[in-house]
Every structure is written in structure tokens, then in C-alpha cells.
Structure 1
């Protein structure tokens, strides 16, 4: 479903414009690089011509001022001149290395790969070969497009994460607003139900009926409290994790199908943890119901409490079809669900309750054809 096609089109136009600008900058930079390289080639050809004239002068001849100026003017381009007798002359290269023949031959190969050598000839006679590399300016210019591209990518990443964070913040506000509105909407009929139940109690009817209604009203009050706390920091109290988990377990066991076999195991009698009673029960309920859905209403649910040093692990296991390993992390994202009907918010809320509100951890411990084990880790109160 497309909620905002106009926004999608505008985003595409913005992306296309940005791509066009980047392409234009890179194209211009490449053109400038080629032009600069051509001018440097022309400069080296002029230098080679001047060198050719220099090689013709004898000791008793006066060298022209222009030739001297051309030869002395090049102070940026590294050069290696190999004369026909094998002697080597260098220019604009480290003085401490020019006497190293291995260094010179290595650089000759590098220069040859960067620029075509210039043959210095005079009247058909080969006088020397000029090998030259890229000047410092040209080398810096060569990496300019890469640096520019990295800057643009970094800038784009910053903008992307800014909008992503902003969007996530807006979504959180939306879910929090929806949750609080749901709590508010439930509150009105709940107050009415309380009144009707009190009226029923005054009548001579089976007290077991009103007792069960009281339980469901209490349950609705708990649900209302849960929704009202979404988007705000809940109050944490020191409680016994074993007792809290067992309470949630007993409630779900009594209200689940007889086709579901429940088991509760703990390796410790009592363990203090900072918890919000309502939200923790909601977490266990979500995990158990997901397990029941995975088993299609028939199978086994096991809850185990295992101490682990400074932490306590609460394991919720089912005998459902399992989760693909590639989805171990994705199932906690909003909107991810395997059900035909559902918003995919259950495990997302569970993750938020455990990790943001209780500073704990939740993960898929293991999953396969034999079932799935979800693990909640909470810090033990010292």
C-alpha cells in the first residue's frame, strides 16, 4: 500500500538531482584533470626540446637565455633523463636517493606507466629518453574526485540517519499516542462494567459469575494500565522474578486451551529484580501467545528461570515450527509478522519493554523444527 505517492516522487526527483550534480562535478573534475595532464605533457615536450638544444651546444658555444630559462623553470615535475650512453640525470627528485640505481629503475617503470616517455632526437639521431611522473598538484588532483565522493557519501549518510531517526521518533510518538488513546477509550466502558457488576452483586445470582467478571475487569484494568504507560518511563519496583513470572504463567495457563501443555521450572526459589509488574506480565504474555500461535493451538509451552551470575535468564520455549535464522533479529522490528492477521507490533513492544525500560536483553536463543526458545536477560538486584 502506498500511503504518500507524492512524497515518493519528490524523493525520487531529489535523489536524481543529487546524482546529476555529483555526476557533473565528477565529469568536470575528470575533464580538468585530463586538460591539466595535457598541459603538463606540453610543458615536458618543451623541456625536452630545450634539453635537445642543450645537448648540441659545445663548451665554446653560448647557450640561449630561453633555453636556460625553460630548463630551470620546471621545479615541480619529477624527471629521469636517460642519455644514449646510459648515464642518468634526475630533476625534482629526493637528493638522498638519486644515486640508488634500484630506486631510479623502479621509478622509471612507475613514470612509464603514468606518462608515455619522450624520445629526444636530433636530425634522426637518438640523444636521450625522458621519463617523467605526475607533479604533486596532479597527484593531489587525481584523488580529489574520490575525496569529494566520500564527502558527499558522508553527507548523504548523515542526512539519511537524521531523517531515519526523525521518522522513528515520529513513529514512536504515533504509537504512544495510539496506545494512550486506546487506554482512554477502554476506560469509559470499563467504568460502566464496574457499575453493572456491582449491580449484579446486589442481585441474588451465583457469586461465581460476578467473581469471574471481576477477574476480567481486573484484566481490562491491567491492559489499560499497560497502554497508558507506552511512551513514558514506567516505575520499576524491586520484586521477586520467580513470583512475578509464576503469576503470569498461572494466569495464561488457566485461560489457554487444554491442548496446550504448560510447564514451569526454576533453579532458584527467590531472586530480586527491578521490574514494572504490568509491563513484565505483558512481555511474558506476548511471548507465550506467540508460541501458541506458532504451534497452531497444540503443543507444549515451557518457562524456565535460570540464574546467570549478575543476570537472570527467563526462557520461554514452544514446540512450534521454528524461526528462520535470518529472521532472528528481524522479528523484533515493527511490522514483521508471519500471521495473516496482525500488525507485527508484539515483539517490537516486548523488545522495547525489556531493553529500554528494564535495561535488559531479549533474543532468540535457538530455533528449529523442534521449536523455539526466547530468552530474556534481566539484571539481578544486588
Structure 2
């Protein structure tokens, strides 16, 4: 059984390092900040307890002549400039509050309502502190975290968000750089291949001319076929030379282009594969294409279809008009089909289900259609055991 492989699927060390750094920094910051928050929260609670005791002393001092105590407790009460707190006396009345600013236009009744609402919110955050003012009477101090502590609470999450965003940007930048590097490699490889083919092709053409010069010794039908294959090599060389350059698009009769190429290809694939072309396009329908590159697209898809059918089956090419001045070319085989999870993966560089090959055929086909012809190439449908349909969509204007 053949196994799929992807020459680009191995994890990159740099990606792992970036991800680990983001994770370690984020986790360390979260733990350290939580530790600071807990310490600051304990400190604020202790301060509020001091605030509560000061109120108790202040209330009790009103029954004595302890002026010094009143001065000290009053200074402690005023020293709280950060922690929102409300003191409710034993009668349930709001007797004192700190660090809560009601709108200036509020009436006393609206201020009272404002503070009562704050008490409800504070009770959800912290249990009130009991103020024992003597004679069995007790008041309550409600409080919540200071603004600084609240900001510090949200800080680790903001930091994690920033680190995550930076990690994503780093990943995208690295992926873009890798794709650019891959493109440069492919372009260089394609042009070098075209260059290397030049010498043997020149030699083959010379041999063809030599064989034509002596028709009595060499069967000219064989010579004709060799010449066709040499011309085919010239076409392949021209295709490779076009990679990385902006191709020239010309108005071509798309039906004729497809039909002529299928006629050529059908003689060079398995005789057990039946190929057919059906066109529902208006006669003479033209589309701007680069003929050499577009034939390469058809060839790559058809050869993949033949492999999927293991050289036995039916291959149908159907051309239909679409709305918005578009034309669709459907290439349908009767092969083994493609699973849903692999429908997008088939266009990934290096993906292949064959023991031989680099898995670049469909990748190049998609690039030619979408980048050079401003069209679309995708898997229209596929069913296990019944076959697959690839669709090419081109603009007719």
C-alpha cells in the first residue's frame, strides 16, 4: 500500500523555539504576576483592616477626651487614597466612604443610591470587615481592589495576548520567507532544467534530420514520431523557462486548445483509459491563456487522474459556461477518489501518494491557474471508489 508523504511536513526547529519562548515567557509572567497580585491583595486587606480599626477608635474617641487618638485615626482614614471603601454604621447608614467619586451633578439621594450599588458590587468581591465600636454595636467596612491592583490583574492576559500576536506574526513572517525561498528554488531548478535540456535536444534534432536524409534506410513514420517527441521536449523546455516570469496571455479558442492537447495526450497514456472532451461553450469561445502553461495544467491533472485509476478507466473533460463571464473546465476520472481531509492537501507542495515523484504537479497547476491566469483550481467533488472531479475556472472577458 502506498503511503503519502510531504517533503515540507517536518517541524522546523525555529518554529518550535519561538513557540516555546512565547509559552515560557507567557507562563512565567502569568505566575509571577499572580504572585504579586496575591501579595498586593493581602496587603490591601490588611490596610482595610487598619482602616476599620481606625473607624472603631474614632467612634469610641467621641465618648472620651482622647484628642491624640482622634488625630491619629483621622490621619489613617485620610491616608487611604487608593482602596475604595465604604463604612456602614450599626444602623445601616453609610457613615464614611473613601476613593469613590460620584458624579458631581448627583443629588444626595442619588449619591446614596450610587454608594449602595457599590456595596452590592463589593460584597461579590470581598466579605465586609466587622468594626466593633463597643457596647455590642458593630459596623461594616465594604471594600474592593484598588485601581492599580485591578490593572495588574489584567496585565498577564494582556501580555499573553501581545506575545501570542507576536508569535503569530513571527510564524507568518517565517512561513512567508520559507515560501519565498521555495519559490526561488523552484524557479532556479526549472530554469536550470530548461538549460540542461537544450544540448540533448539539439543533438536529437540533428539525428532527426540525418534520418530524414536517408528515407530508404529509416522508416519515416518512426522519424515523424521521434520529431513529435522532440517538439514535445521543446514545449516542456519552454514551460520550465516560463516559470518565474510573467507569461504572455493570448486569446485562444479554449475548446480547440483542450481538444488538441487531449488528442496528443491520449496516444501517450494507457490504452485502457478512455478520454473524451465535451464542450457546451459557444462556438469560437476565446479566453486569454498562455497555451504552453495551460496545457501543462491539463497534463498534470490528467496524469494524476490516470495514476488514480491505475491506468484503467474513463477520463472526461467537460467545458461549461458560468455566470459572470466565467468558464469551467471539469476533469473527471473514475479513480479511487480523495478523502475529505486530503482535498486541500493535494495542492500542498510535496504531497503525493506515489512512491516516485515530488508531489509538485498539482501545486504547479494551481499556481499557473491562479497566479498567472487569475482563475481558480479546486476539487469540485470526490467520492471514495467512484472518482474525482477537478474544476478549473477562468474568466472569459
Please give the TM-score of this superposition, normalised by the length of structure 2. Answer: 0.88
Q: Specify the alignment match of 1:178 in structure 2.
A: 189
C-alpha distance in structure 2 between counterparts of 1:333 and 1:114, whole Å: 53
Which of residues 80, 87, 91 in structure 2 aligns to 1:85?
91
Q: How far 1:206 sits from its partner (Å)?
A: 2.3
CA distance in 2, matches of 1:304, 1:9: 46
| 1:20-59 mapped onto 2 (5 Å cutoff) | 20-58=24-62
How far 1:16 moved relative to its partner?
4.3
Q: How does 1:85-124 map to 2 (within 5 A)?
A: 85-89=91-95, 90-95=97-102, 96=106, 98-100=111-113, 107-122=118-133
Distance, in Å, in 1 between the alignment partners of 2:79 and 2:37 is 22
Matched, 1:271 2:271: no
Cross-structure match for 2:329: 314
The answer as to whether partners of 2:300 and 2:365 remain within 8 angstroms in 1 is: yes
Identify if the C-alpha distance between structure 1 residues 298 and 233 changes in structure 2 by more than 3 Å, giving closer, same or farther.
Answer: same
In structure 2, distance between residues paired with 1:8 and 1:375 = 33
- Pairwise CA RMSD: 2.5
Taking a change above 3 Å as real, the CA distance of residues 203 and 232 of structure 1, as seen in their structure-2 partners, is same
For structure 1, which segment, 26-35 or 42-51, has the greater mean C-alpha deviation from structure 2 after superposition? 26-35
Deviation sequence 1:113-158 (CA, Å, 0-9, x none): 4233211114583421111011111111110001111111111111
CA distance change for structure 1 residues 248 and 143 in 2, over 3 Å: closer, same or farther? Answer: same
Q: Which residue of 2 aligns with 1:157?
A: 168
Matches of 2:280 and 2:81 in 1, distance apart? 81
Query: Structure 1's 17 and 254: CA in aligned 2 closer, same or farther, altered over 3 A?
Result: closer
Partner of 1:262: 275
C-alpha distance after superposition, 1:251-310 (max 9, x if no partner): 112222221111111112221211111110000011111111111111111101111131
Structure 2 unaligned runs (5+)?
A: none
Name the counterpart of 1:295: 309
* Partner SS for 2:112: coil
Superposition deviation, residue 236 in structure 1: 1.2
Per-residue CA deviation, residues 226-247 of structure 1 (Å, 9 max, x unaligned), is: 1111122211111111111111
Correspondent of 1:131 among 138, 142, 148? 142
Q: Is the 8 A contact 1:301 1:317 kept in 2?
A: yes
Q: Distance in 2 between matches of 1:330 and 1:347?
A: 10
Matched with 1:230 is 243
In structure 2, how many angstroms separate the alpha carbons of the residues matched to 1:278 and 1:27?
Answer: 61
Contact 2:376–2:394 (Cα < 8 Å) also in 1: yes
Q: For each residue in 1:294-352, what CA deviation from the matched residue of structure 2 results, as whole angstroms up to 9, or x when unmatched?
A: 11111111101111131100110011111111222111110111222221111100110
Q: What TM-score, normalized to structure 1? A: 0.91
Give the distance between the partners of 1:125 and 1:273, measured in 2 at CA: 96
Aligned length: 377
- Give the structure, 1 or 2, with the largest relative contact order (CA under 8 Å, sep 6 or more): 2
2:78 alignment partner in structure 1: 72
Instruction: Provide closer, same or farther for how the CA distance between residues 185 and 262 of structure 1 changes in structure 2, counting only shifts above 3 A.
Output: same
CA contact (8 A) 1:300 1:318 kept: yes
| Secondary structure, aligned partner of 1:344 | coil
Matched position secondary structure for 1:56: helix
Structure 1: distance between partners of 2:86 and 2:368: 71
Between 1:368-377 and 1:107-116, the stretch displaced more is 107-116
Aligned to 1:361: 376
Moved more, 78-87 or 277-286: 78-87
How far residue 109 of structure 1 moved from its aligned partner, in angstroms, is 4.6
Counterparts in 2 of 1:10 and 1:260: CA distance versus 1, 3 Å = closer
